[in-house]
Amino acid sequence: MSKRKTTLPAATPRAEARPKLLSVVCPAYNESENLATFVASVEAAMRAIAQPYEIVFVNDGSSDSTLELMMRLRKTHGRIAIVDLSRNFGKEIATTAGLDLAKGDAVVVIDADLQDPPEVIAEMIAGWREGYDVVYARRRERNGDGPVKRLTATLFYKLIHRVGAVDVPENVGDFRLMSRKAVDAVCSMREHHRFMKGIFAWIGFPSKEILYDRAPRAAGTTKWNYWRLWNLSIEGITSSTLAPLKVSTYFGFATALTAFLAGAFFILKTLFFGDPVPGFPTLVVIVLFLGGIQLMVLGVIGEYLGRVFNETKQRPLYFATEVYPSDIGADRTSVRQAV
């Protein structure tokens, strides 16, 4: 399960001081309380550095007034594009839909809750100017998380570092800037079981880390709970590595070897010393143990088999009820449905 350390190419400084157009991609699910403040914050941050920009909102099947507010903001600000997904597809696919529509030569992915301050984008653009294709923001501290979430996050990153094919930066979310080359590379990967942090890391390209302090949510409550985070962790591991299958194989061999040695021991013991008292409790424990191991291995195989099944159906990643492009930059009105 050891992996080869990835070495990224060196960055070559760009001649441009800033991107000609920056697309700010923001997937949103029931974020009506934050959108107006978010747009005002992005507008102020971009005005401070004289950066041309557009905001690409993705309505991920919201059940509140998120879409209506997006439409009102778009009428006021011509810089806003909207992708209205036909249902809730989840943040990973909603982010992909926003990247598909974004037409800037650099793209920032950011959440609508303002925990990721738009002011940090200026540092990201400085990294882009230095020639980096990916500039990701790492949280200095996980101040908003409880001890259980911090512990589970630490264990997850240690595991993904150990078994994954590429390094996934710790304490880094989706908040990052990518060049057009990096965005096109991400958009070319159309697997249905998407772990965006793993995809962002897998494409390679020169990357730079910047540190920032993550703020509390501006309003509303998080849509993530431990069950969703657990499923995302499983998605991240199974989409990044075959290590669970290898572990299952090693576990199976180890169990078989243990059973063989135990069988040989009991046979020799019976031949030389006899066994007048049948060991019923021992037999039950062994049967339950072996049955549990078999079910666990079958579950791991089933996780991978289910993903293969979903990929072979070749369904589009998402459907959009409507797509509203921004008034900025080149015409890019169609959202990619499937590749």
Judge whether 4 lies within some domain. no
Looking at the structure, do residues 182 and 83 belong to the same domain, yes or no? yes
CA atoms of 113 and 270, how far apart (whole Å): 69
- The predicted structure's pLDDT at residue 1: 46
User: pLDDT, tens digit, for every residue of 258-296?
Assistant: 776 776 776 676 666 666 556 655 666 677 677 777 777
Judge whether 115 lies within some domain. yes
- The predicted structure's pLDDT at residue 109: 92
Tokens of 92: 């990973």
Looking at the structure, do residues 177 and 249 belong to the same domain, yes or no? no
Looking at the structure, do residues 216 and 142 belong to the same domain, yes or no? yes
CATH number where 105 lies? 3.90.550.10
Judge whether 336 lies within some domain. no
Looking at the structure, do residues 174 and 197 belong to the same domain, yes or no? yes
Looking at the structure, do residues 173 and 270 belong to the same domain, yes or no? no
Judge whether 197 lies within some domain. yes
User: Which residue range is the domain that position 61 belongs to?
Assistant: 22-241+317-324
Looking at the structure, do residues 257 and 308 belong to the same domain, yes or no? yes
Judge whether 5 lies within some domain. no
Judge whether 16 lies within some domain. no
State the total domains in the chain: 2
Rounded CA Rg of the chain: 25
Looking at the structure, do residues 220 and 276 belong to the same domain, yes or no? no
Looking at the structure, do residues 84 and 194 belong to the same domain, yes or no? yes
Looking at the structure, do residues 202 and 266 belong to the same domain, yes or no? no
Among all chains, which residue has been given the structure tokens 């010393």?
Answer: 273
Looking at the structure, do residues 237 and 247 belong to the same domain, yes or no? no
Looking at the structure, do residues 258 and 183 belong to the same domain, yes or no? no
Q: pTM value? A: 0.69
Give average pLDDT by consecutive 10-residue segment, the chain, 339 residues.
Answer: 54 79 90 87 90 90 88 86 88 89 90 86 88 86 60 64 66 85 87 79 83 67 57 62 67 71 69 62 67 73 73 80 78 46
- The predicted structure's pLDDT at residue 2: 45
Judge whether 38 lies within some domain. yes
Judge whether 112 lies within some domain. yes
